[in-house]
Structure 1
Amino acid sequence: MKTIAFITVLSIAFHHTQLFGQDGNTEIIERNMEGHIFRPKQLMPTPENIGSLKLPPGFAIEVFAEGLGKSRMLAVAANGAVYVTDRDQGTLTLLQDSDGDGKAEIKKVLAKKDQLHGIAIDGDDLYLITVNELYKTAIHPDGSIDSLLLLVDDLPDGGQHGNRTLKIGPDNALYVSVGSTCNACIETNKENATMLKMNPDGSQRTIYATGLRNTIGFDWHPQTGELWGFDHGIDWLGNDEQQEELNKIVEGQDYGWPFVYGDGQFEVHHDPKNMTHEEYAAKSVKPTLLYDAHAAPMNLLFYTGNQFPGEFNGDAFVTMHGSWNRAEPSGYKIVRVRYENGQPTRIEDFITGFVTADKKGQFARVCGLAQHTDGSLLVADDAHGVVYRVYYK
């Protein structure tokens, strides 16, 4: 069986000294940083590997569809039609489980656009997004769609983070996550590293929040209506820096990137304009919770169904795609964010085992999430083109 050899760990040491002048005083900050490059060996999603996954008692996981290239983002229409994007091929594929056995018998490519990634559904309207373009189409009762209507063609260029995602908010506005072009830099386009807000027709586009390096996964809490997103931390700060950030995203707020991260640490390679790092930290919003550095949160979804036990309602699921620049891999799992009274209290494992016990091999890089009409959870793996179905027995 063909596998892809894992990359030998590459360690790179950095020594950085920077001077800060404040009120006539000079502060010397020195940092020794060490970076690593390591990816576990890619294994196949065999029945044995899938059977080794660890889930909470009463839960099960099975293959809903496969052979989907590099399946990324998911959305489910009210009629049960499932849509999945493949960024590399630029495709939108329809999946349908006609007989209700938990497996998709129908798999049909409906549209193709270069670097198609994000997807959102609002009633019979389906929205798709590439790096620079936003499209809209209509869903037919049989799951097919109309031709794509171009709404926006001037979103910022992608650079390092071109994976746009979008959702319709409780206010019926369209929200679009636009990542940074770089690891840590001062952007020339003010719309990079932001959450954008616009009308469903693409008009009246504004910056909703800024200082967000790459918040691919975001959703609104079903009880409070508050917007939450999981932001990717800066790379090359070491194995355990920067941790991934769970933020309550509030209109008009700045979340610190690239100058401030975590609980107020400074990214010393870049200086804020006309203020100190301390002053910038005071005006930016700190994350509510932190998670393992480099785990790479990809999608965030609040559970609102009734197929899972009631205690899961109002909690969030997050796919952790998995690290590449950490000596020991982090991520490669699905986590549950526990909420109490509308606020997150802790993050715990939900499904683990996609990476082997010795952490040298993995058979899935989990990505998109969607709640099916029956309340089960669909999960996309972009390493092998599999969509999994998670359900409570």
Structure 2
Amino acid sequence: MNRFLLAILICAMPGFALGQGNKEAEKIVGHVFKPKTVEATKERINSLKLPDGFDIEVFADQLGKPRMMAVTQDGKVYVTRRAGDVYLLSDDNKDGKAEVKKKVLQLDKVHGLDIKDDWLYMVTVNEVYRARINKNGDLGKPEKIMSDLPDGGQHANRTLAFGPEGKLYISIGSTCNACDETREESATLVVADPKDWSREVYAKGLRNTIGFDWEPNTRDLYGMDHGIDWLGDEQQKEELNKLVKGGNYGWPYIYGEGHHNPADEPPHNMTYEEYAKKVTNPVKTYTAHSSPLDMLFYTGEQFPEEYRNDAIVTFHGSWNREKAVGYKVIRINFKDGKPAEATDLVTGFLVNNDKEQFGRVTGLAMLPDGSLLISDDANGVIYRLSYSGS
């Protein structure tokens, strides 16, 4: 097991004590601890903890490092892999397991994807492509529709999704943990018009909002943003933001409920207090370093009625705190279109007193029957979460 302690001494800065206003030098202690990956055996999978009435099974395995997924109306599943390709999975006999499993496209550093009008849209670090979906699930020749997204740096995993009004939204993570970016589109969510694929910054100050989706009733856009590393085990917490056009969500200068990041001073000689007035705080926060990966609002009819229009989020899991957190799927209950309490949906991937793990959950997708697919890029598994009520 690889574990070591990293102590960081932050020099004195006016108004700083993790955002609370202490002018004395502040010592921040960080840790690196990566739970060892162990096999996803049948016994371990059977030990996963679920709400009553839910079942989980392997939909597909031996997939290397599967990440993001998209599903057609007839149930064909497209999944991107770290190997730089797109796989097609299909459960033709409807037994809850994919009989078809084949590579349909090779595309370097492909990550996020979405489906619209029989086209599969895919994003790499710098480009956006689309390919026609054939009746048998194979893809036509990919067509490049954008080629000038900013370089990735530390956060190169782009995601994309079409909004309710038909425009294409693309999440572009920051190039660093915390720094002054040199490209306007870095650390933002951009939106592109399908008429000519011209784009503009929709929201900024977002360190790495991989998972985002629209609340089905209000059509408000929400996204899960990754917190800054090396501010300690309990800071910065992961953020659920309500994303609005023109919004500034603080990174890298302001985080959480107005806390100041001591390593980066606001631009144009602004004070932290002045910059904080320009920032929209998160609507909810969650345990620091949980690493949110994907988020979707559940709109199916298989799960109990109280799950309808709730947000489902994967927490990929920590590597930089003393005690491992994340490694699970949660449900955020939305009441009257607004986020309320969060509860665990799938847990138990951490084993052996949290020193080992057999699943780092990543992508989410809903099948036509209302069951939920959950990808794991540690053991190459895609799980199917279903509800029988028994």
Shorter-chain TM range is over 0.9
Q: Which segments of structure 1 move beyond 6 Å, counting only runs of 4 or more?
A: none
- C-alpha contact 1:36 1:239 (8 A) present in aligned 2: yes
Match for residue 286 of structure 1 among 281, 284, 291: 281
The C-alpha deviation readout for 1:314-354, integer Å capped at 9, x for no partner, is 10100000000000011000000010000001211111001
Query: What is aligned with 2:116?
Result: 122
Paired letter, 2:136: D
Aligned to 1:18, the other structure's residue is in SS state: coil
Query: What is aligned with 1:147?
Result: 141
* In 2: Cα distance, 1:20 partner to 1:59 partner: 49
- C-alpha contact 2:188 2:205 (8 A) present in aligned 1: yes
- C-alpha contact 1:131 1:163 (8 A) present in aligned 2: yes
Query: What is aligned with 1:18?
Result: 13
The C-alpha deviation readout for 1:201-256, integer Å capped at 9, x for no partner, is 66221000000000000000001000000000000000000000000000001000
- C-alpha contact 1:244 1:294 (8 A) present in aligned 2: yes
Query: What is aligned with 1:370?
Result: 365
Query: What is aligned with 2:254?
Result: 260
Aligned to 1:17, the other structure's residue is in SS state: coil
Aligned runs of 1:321-332 on 2, under 5 Å? 321-332=316-327
Aligned to 2:339, the other structure's residue is in SS state: strand
Query: What is aligned with 1:315?
Result: 310
Match for residue 298 of structure 1 among 293, 296, 321: 293
Paired letter, 2:76: A
Match for residue 150 of structure 2 among 146, 156, 162: 156
* In 2: Cα distance, 1:363 partner to 1:123 partner: 37
Does residue 1:220 correspond to 2:220, yes or no? no
Aligned runs of 1:1-393 on 2, under 5 Å? 6-19=1-14, 28-87=23-82, 89-200=83-194, 203-274=197-268, 275-356=270-351, 358-393=353-388
The C-alpha deviation readout for 1:143-182, integer Å capped at 9, x for no partner, is 1111100001110000000000000000100000000000
- C-alpha contact 2:161 2:169 (8 A) present in aligned 1: yes
Shift in Å at residue 74 of structure 1?
A: 0.6
Q: Structure 2: give runs of 5+ residues left out of the alignment.
A: none
Report the CA distance shift for 1:156/1:201 in structure 2 as closer, same or farther (over 3 A).
Answer: farther
Paired letter, 2:107: K
Report the CA distance shift for 1:18/1:370 in structure 2 as closer, same or farther (over 3 A).
Answer: same
Shift in Å at residue 142 of structure 1?
A: 1.4
Shift in Å at residue 102 of structure 1?
A: 0.3
- C-alpha contact 1:319 1:367 (8 A) present in aligned 2: yes
* In 2: Cα distance, 1:353 partner to 1:202 partner: 46
Paired letter, 1:317: I
294-303 vs 28-37, which deviates more? 28-37
* In 2: Cα distance, 1:129 partner to 1:266 partner: 33
Report the CA distance shift for 1:264/1:123 in structure 2 as closer, same or farther (over 3 A).
Answer: same
Shift in Å at residue 138 of structure 1?
A: 1.2
Q: Structure 1: give runs of 5+ residues left out of the alignment.
A: 1-5
Report the CA distance shift for 1:29/1:120 in structure 2 as closer, same or farther (over 3 A).
Answer: farther
- C-alpha contact 1:44 1:363 (8 A) present in aligned 2: yes
Paired letter, 1:109: K
Shift in Å at residue 127 of structure 1?
A: 0.2
TM-score normalised by length of structure 1: 0.95
* In 2: Cα distance, 1:368 partner to 1:74 partner: 6
- C-alpha contact 2:211 2:293 (8 A) present in aligned 1: yes
* In 2: Cα distance, 1:201 partner to 1:308 partner: 37
Shift in Å at residue 273 of structure 1?
A: 1.6
The C-alpha deviation readout for 1:87-131, integer Å capped at 9, x for no partner, is 2x1010000101000000011101111111011111311100100
Aligned to 1:64, the other structure's residue is in SS state: strand
TM-score normalised by length of structure 2: 0.96
CA RMSD of aligned residues (A): 1.4
Report the CA distance shift for 1:20/1:63 in structure 2 as closer, same or farther (over 3 A).
Answer: closer
- C-alpha contact 1:191 1:207 (8 A) present in aligned 2: yes
* In 1: Cα distance, 2:194 partner to 2:112 partner: 15
Shift in Å at residue 287 of structure 1?
A: 0.2
- C-alpha contact 2:12 2:25 (8 A) present in aligned 1: yes
The C-alpha deviation readout for 1:257-294, integer Å capped at 9, x for no partner, is 00000111000111112211101111100000000000
Shift in Å at residue 12 of structure 1?
A: 2.1
- C-alpha contact 2:7 2:27 (8 A) present in aligned 1: no
* In 1: Cα distance, 2:256 partner to 2:289 partner: 13
* In 1: Cα distance, 2:121 partner to 2:158 partner: 12
Paired letter, 1:385: G
Report the CA distance shift for 1:202/1:348 in structure 2 as closer, same or farther (over 3 A).
Answer: farther
Paired letter, 1:108: K
Query: What is aligned with 1:3?
Result: none
Aligned length: 383
Shift in Å at residue 27 of structure 1?
A: 8.0
Q: Percent identity?
A: 50
Aligned to 2:3, the other structure's residue is in SS state: coil
